[in-house]
Structure 1
């Protein structure tokens, strides 16, 4: 898969001789709605024997028109994971545009002429709510701007089990700790990537050693709680139970950490990069009266985790 990085104004000498079918969107999460758009574009591309291309952006468009707090500045899928998901969906080419004020300030006509015509598109596909240009033009009027130079297909993103399929809905459910709904909307387990770093080693003292995971600061994480997770290290898969929280049993002013007890595992993995699939929220964080109460709860959590994997043949 080829990734073509573009800064506005687009290079006037840029030329693409082969026509393509283009899916447009930011695609944070690459959820079932996004997949519907991309798969629609892929079906058209396959029928016509053309490349499947994506037009997406290097960061959230909202960065240009409003101030985002530290939470709003986070992403469901960071760059490497998003590109990997695109590749798995059969994308041949990604136009990665730097989303700036000048880019957004184009009129819809300028956007079409500068980008869609330059990309030599045969067909443009996007969700019905996709907008473009300074006037926030919608997909209904894109055929007018196309003026017969390319085809336009709009895709209804639908609902799933009465839940709207959207990145906003997924972020909301992550903030609620509702991993079950998150994974349903994604059509796969929610995945994060991080590196194993040193912590305070309290888990080892309790008989439940944990890997402390350092995530990118812009990675959106599930809410505080205890979770069933799958962990991938060096191509191997392991069962685990994860804690996102402040370790409140040991004090009220601790920072939020991500710690994973990998079941049936005893190996030094400091410095390893690993992937985490978040599968189920067992419970919220509890402040226990003593160490023994905490250990008894950890035993119950371990039992739940093992039963979860056995029941689901994971």
Structure 2
């Protein structure tokens, strides 16, 4: 898959100008609704023997036109993870555009002429709510701007049930609640993150449950505070683990939020290793224990529930 980094104004020498099908969207999470758009574009590309391209952005467009809080700046899928998901869906080319004021300030006609027509798009595919600038720059009006230079295909939303539409906003809400069942159902795949093993306080080792302290990218949205069943890929081997996202309040209330994972049946030094984490299910909320012995008893129970989950 070819990844082309672009900024406005576009230059023809930067843009892959083969005839193509273009799927448009930010695609945070690459959830079932996004997959519906990309799969529709893939069907057309295969039928017409054309390349499948994606138009996406380097950050959320809202950054340009409003102040976002720290959580709103985070993503379900950071760039590398999103690109891997695109590749799995059969995408040939990704245009990763720097979404800045100059790009946003194009009129709809300019955007269509500069990019969609300029990239030799024959079919433009996007979700029902996709926009490309001004208020009236929506899918309903795109055929008017296309001027018969390309065909427009609008994809309906993906409904989990009647009137229950899949969206990145809903998934972020479920993730904050720690509701991985809904998160993974709406994504159409298990929620995944990537982090590096760093040194922590080594409290887990003292309790008999050594943990890998995971440092994530600051832009990566994480599940809400709680204890979770996870799997990890370490040097091409999969392991079972229980992950704690929280402040370790048993040892103080002013601790920062950390991600610590007890990897079951594993006792190797992996400091500095990059781990792929797959978040499966929530075991419980975080608890502030009265003493360390109560914590150890709870960890033993968490471990049994984790092992039993996979046995079932």
Contact 1:107/1:135 (8 A) holds in 2: no
| 2:124 pairs with 1:117 | no
Alignment of 1:6-85 (within 5 A): 6-14=6-14, 16-85=16-85
- The question of whether the paired residues in 2 share the 8 Å contact of 1:22 and 1:41 is answered with yes
Alignment: residue pair count: 311
Confirm or deny: 8 A CA contact 2:6 2:97 kept in the other structure. yes
| Alpha-carbon distance in structure 2 between the residues aligned to 1:78 and 1:33 | 18
TM-score by length of 1: 0.97
Partners in 1 of 2:15 and 2:200 — Cα distance? 52
What residue number does 2:139 align with? 139
* In structure 2, C-alpha distance between the alignment counterparts of 1:145 and 1:206, rounded to whole Å: 65
Q: 1:6: how far off?
A: 0.8
Distance change >3 Å, CA 15–CA 159, structure 1 → 2: closer
Equivalent residue of 2:56, what SS?
strand
Alignment of 1:163-174 (within 5 A): 163-174=164-175
1:169-184 alignment runs, 5 A limit: 169-184=170-185
> In the aligned structure 2, how far is the partner of 1:136 from the partner of 1:11?
26
Residues 220-277 of structure 1: per-residue CA shift (max 9 Å, x gap): 0000000000011111100000000000011111111000000000100000000110
* Alpha-carbon contact 2:31-2:188 (below 8 Å) kept: yes
Does the C-alpha gap of structure 1 residues 188 and 170 become closer, same or farther in structure 2, counting only changes over 3 Å? Answer: same
CA distance in 2, matches of 1:276, 1:71: 20
Tell me the alpha carbon deviations over residues 169-188 of structure 1, each in whole angstroms, 9 at most, x when there is no partner: 11000011101100000111
Q: Secondary structure at the match of 1:55?
A: strand
**3-state SS, counterpart of residue 137 of structure 1:** coil
Deviates more, 1:98-107 or 1:127-136: 127-136
1:106-255 aligned within 5 A: 106-161=106-161, 163-255=164-256
Q: CA RMSD in A?
A: 1.1
Per the alignment, residue 267 of structure 1 pairs with 268
Aligned positions of 1:284-295 closer than 5 A: 284-295=285-296
TM-score under structure 2 length normalisation: 0.98
Partner residue in 2 for 1:103: 103
Any conservation in 1 of the 2:6–2:14 contact (CA below 8 Å)? Answer: no
5+ long unaligned stretches in structure 1: none
Tell me if the contact between 1:16 and 1:118 (Cα under 8 Å) persists in the aligned partners. no
Secondary structure of the corresponding residue to residue 73 of structure 2: coil
SS in 2 for 1:282: strand
